[in-house]
Structure 1
Amino acid sequence: MERYDLSAANVTGVLPDGARKEQGISLAIGFFDGVHLGHQEVVRQAVALARQQGLVPAVMTFDPHPRVVLGQGSQFQTVLTPLSDKLTLLSELGIEAAYIIHFDREFSEVTAEQFVKSFITPLGVKATTVGFDFSFGHRGEGNAEALKLYGNGEIQVQVVSPVFLEGTKVSSTRIRERLDDGQCSEASGLLGRPYVIKGVVVHGDARGRLLGFPTANLEPEQPFVIPRSGVYAIHIDVLKDSGAVESRHNGVLNVGYRPTFDAPGGALKLEAHLFDFNDDLYGRQLALTFHSFLRAENKFASIDKLIEQISSDSAQAKEIFSVKLQD
């Protein structure tokens, strides 16, 4: 189990064994994929409890997703938030320390009682905050009541009710479904922020430049959930080596298989066209923020038809951003 100090926006160092243990810890526990509105409420309550009782606000999470290790769903091989982004978001919510447990087959055999006595109590945890559907231990045998029991009544357990947005329960599964449908605004509402994919610009076949619409071909740096195939209005942040934003641009993104040019069965591609930008981006890291779904991916009868459609897509995206700016 690794311990990270999150006093800065990024992971900055290792929290030494026993550091601040005497002060006690208020611990939020969960996988927190997406750090969505429901997760944020769990974390906020853990932080509030820490402030009330003079404890260190901390989180315990797992990597990779337990269901991947247990073979319970291939969809969990992709993530809404990679671990590094998750830690940054948790830090912004007031978390000061994170305990990351590497989840493997051996750990999956740990009983609920062993988990509390070997992984919770030794940290000096005085209070825990968990979601309404929290379970832990071998085959998910433990719940909030078990956490109290095995903590010998010395660990306060706070259970957070589900969060609803416009009648919909906020969950990572629901967000994935919205992205699968291309419904970016709905997914963003459930997340509490726009959906972002980060990656590095790699060489393509330069066909976009030949068409008059140069594109940056993005290779995601982590196994992000990729929204449905189609064309999107997006914001593109060009990042510095430090991860800070160097510049922001509007543009359009094609997610798909380029049926006009490529044979069926090819690799999925993410090709971003930045408006009014012509600098070399090869090897640079970009962050793509999904704004609006424009249309499904199509196969065009001619190159001229494709160029005409890309022009229309760009005009539509510029209009969307113009309206948003006026709002």
Structure 2
Amino acid sequence: MERFDLSIANVTGALPEGARKEQGISLAIGFFDGVHLGHQEVVRQAVALAREQGLVPAVMTFDPHPRVVLGHGSQYQTVLTPLADKLSLLSKLGVEAAYVIQFERSFSEVTAEEFVKTLINPLGVKATTVGFDFSFGHRGEGNADTLRLHGNGEIQVQVVSPVFLEDDKVSSTRIRDRLAEGESLEASALLGRPYVIKGLVVHGDARGRLLGYPTANLLPEQPYVIPRSGVYAIYIDLLSDSGEFESRYNGVLNVGYRPTFDAPGGALRLEAHLFDFGGDLYGRQLALTFHTFLRAEKKFDSIEQLVAQISLDAAQAKEIVSVQR
């Protein structure tokens, strides 16, 4: 197998303008799927250490998830936070430099010692901050102690304890489980922010308009984790072509397969109805912010029953998002 080239040139990222390599780096290392409360604590401690010691606060992350490349985690083919959003969130936490390693199968063969001596050390890393369950190198052979060992005493290593919420550890797996159960509010609490899916409005069959509730059919821009099928109270942000926020609307969202109209085995759809909006959304970028799960998706015996239920869903969603916004 071809060896992964660990040269700095093959790692995306650079020091911010005005920073010098000899200044040194305080580096948080991890995949940071979701940038949840636990990840935020790791990054905050790395940034705090940087401020104390006059270092550049930085992160090292990987893309895609190592388990996907190695075939060990099909669930990680979906993401809580796409790379661009991940880097934006990390920047808001005070990170000034981000090093992204494009994870390839050959990279999994790199030993822990090679990782430290040919990648970490040349970057000018003076301190690292990692989570309590951090591992790296071939077959996960490295840990915080290994990092200290191969850093030859020149790299400070601090390990962050797990963060707990309601007596249970915050983790990406827990967030994914909550979303799969429709527990969007608990998932948001674990993330430290609402769960968001971004995408492009594409043409559907205009059935919602015929029912009196026109919907925007969203095609997610990335392979997001899709929450449980059903109806949600949501916020909808209209974005510019460059992804910048323009305006926000309250709304209701159906996630599912439309069993009243479509045969089993159809495509999953995300159909959002915006309250108090009458414009054309085709081709627009939207961000759907999940608030509250209202009910499970179900098949109705008639169109009249479906329209009556949609009316109830919309009324409930309006009450929730207007009061709890």
TM over 0.5: yes
After TM superposition, the structure 1 = structure 2 runs for residues 171-250 of structure 1, keeping only pairs within 5 Å, are 171-250=171-250
Are the counterparts in 2 of residues 6 and 95 from structure 1 also a CA contact under 8 Å? no
CA distance in 2 between partners of 1:35 and 1:262 (Å): 37
**1:190 CA displacement:** 0.3
Which amino acid in 2 is paired with 1:136? F
Residue 198 of structure 2: SS of its match in structure 1?
A: strand
**1:245 CA displacement:** 1.1
Identity of aligned residues (%): 81
**TM-score, normalised with respect to structure 1:** 0.95
CA distance in 2 between partners of 1:35 and 1:210 (Å): 40
Are the counterparts in 1 of residues 21 and 123 from structure 2 also a CA contact under 8 Å? yes
Q: Which runs of 4+ in 1 moved over 3 A?
A: 1-7
CA distance in 2 between partners of 1:186 and 1:157 (Å): 32
Residue in 1 that maps onto 2:6: none
After TM superposition, the structure 1 = structure 2 runs for residues 88-167 of structure 1, keeping only pairs within 5 Å, are 88-167=88-167
Corresponding residue to 1:3 among 7, 12, 20: 12
CA distance in 2 between partners of 1:124 and 1:321 (Å): 48
Residue in 1 that maps onto 2:7: none
Are the counterparts in 2 of residues 3 and 97 from structure 1 also a CA contact under 8 Å? no
CA distance in 1 between partners of 2:42 and 2:324 (Å): 32
Q: Could you say what the CA RMSD is over the residues aligned between the two structures, in angstroms?
A: 1.3
**1:4 CA displacement:** 3.4
Any idea what the Cα deviations from partners look like across 1:6-35, whole Å, max 9, x if unmatched? 97xxxxxxx79xx62110000000000000
Residue in 2 that maps onto 1:283: 283
Are the counterparts in 2 of residues 27 and 57 from structure 1 also a CA contact under 8 Å? yes
**TM-score, normalised with respect to structure 2:** 0.95
CA distance in 2 between partners of 1:207 and 1:279 (Å): 17
Are the counterparts in 1 of residues 235 and 321 from structure 2 also a CA contact under 8 Å? no
Residue in 2 that maps onto 1:22: 22
Residue 120 of structure 2: SS of its match in structure 1?
A: helix
Which amino acid in 1 is paired with 2:252? V
**1:323 CA displacement:** 2.5
CA distance in 2 between partners of 1:183 and 1:34 (Å): 16
Which amino acid in 2 is paired with 1:130? V
Residue 12 of structure 2: SS of its match in structure 1?
A: strand
CA distance in 2 between partners of 1:196 and 1:5 (Å): 28
Q: Which runs of 5+ in 1 are unaligned?
A: 8-14
Are the counterparts in 2 of residues 50 and 56 from structure 1 also a CA contact under 8 Å? yes
Q: Which runs of 5+ in 2 are unaligned?
A: 1-9
Any idea what the Cα deviations from partners look like across 1:275-299, whole Å, max 9, x if unmatched? 1111101111000000000000000
